[in-house]
Amino acid sequence: MDKTILVVEDQDDLRLLVRLSLKSLGRVVLASSAAEGLEKVRAEKPDLVTLDVWLGKGESGLDVCRAIKADPATRHVKVLLLSACGQQSDVEAGMAAGADHYVVKPFSPQSLGEAAAALLATA
């Protein structure tokens, strides 16, 4: 069965980059804000969400991650956080919010694809 991946990223260029990096793994759905992301998690029932941590306008991907993991209907969805903040404390905060994986920007599209594939294999 084809997997569905939701990409939540506020920057157009990076949304495109993540889409191109992951499109061989399944169907890719896009969202550019926290609200749109949460709405599409419920509507599209993705197997994996890649989530930008700084969504702009003060929105945090960590909140979206917590919301996904708190909802019984979506808590099984794998969450991969993407962030330009790469300190140990940032990674720990991400994992504490319930994320399954944490990738620091800038990243290699190939490594991102491999990390996503590994998460999908366990989904």
Partner 1 sequence: MLASPSPPGDAHRLRVLIELELLDTAPEERFDRITRMAVRLFGVPMALVSLVDADRLWFKSCAGVPFAQTPRTASFCAHAILQDGPLVIEDACRDERFATGPFATATGARFYAGCPVAAPDGSRIGTVCILDRAPRTFDDKQRALLRDLAAMAGDEIAAGELRRAHARRSESDAWLHGLLEHIPDGVLMLDRAGTVLRANPAVEHMFGSDTGGLAGRMARSLLGEAAFQLLDPQHSPDAPPQEGSGQRLDGSSFPVEVKVAPMRLADQQRYAVIVRDVTRQHELAQRSRATEERRRKHFTTATHELRTPMASILGFSELLLKRDFDPDTSRELLDIIHRQTSRLVELINQMLDLARIEAGGTEGLTIGAVDVAALVEQTLSGLNGLGQNHRIRLELEAGLPPIAADAAKIQQALTNIVSNAIKYSSEGSLIDISTAALQRNAKLMVAIRVADRGIGMTAEQLARIFDAFYRAGESQNVQGSGLGMTIFKEIIELHGGYTDIESQPGSGTAVTVWLPALPDHG
The footprint of partner 1 (CB under 8 A) covers 11, 13-14, 16-17, 20-21, 54, 56-57, 84-86, 104-110
Q: Smaller CB distance to partner 1: residue 3 or 15?
A: 15
Which tokens hold the place of 3?
Answer: 């997997």
- In the complex, what is the shortest distance from the CB of residue 106 to partner 1, in angstroms, rounded to a whole number? 4
Output 16 or 73, the one with its CB closest to partner 1.
16
What is the Cα–Cα distance from 93 to 117, expressed in whole angstroms? 23
**Interhelix angle 88-96/61-70, nearest 10 degrees:** 30
Q: In whole angstroms, how close is the CB of 73 to partner 1 at the nearest point?
A: 30
Give counts: helices (H), strands (E), the chain: 5, 5
Distance in Å, CB of 72 to partner 1, minimum: 33
- For the chain, report the end-to-end CA distance as a whole number of angstroms: 12
Q: Which is nearer to partner 1, 61 or 77 (CB)?
A: 61
- Give the chain's length: 123
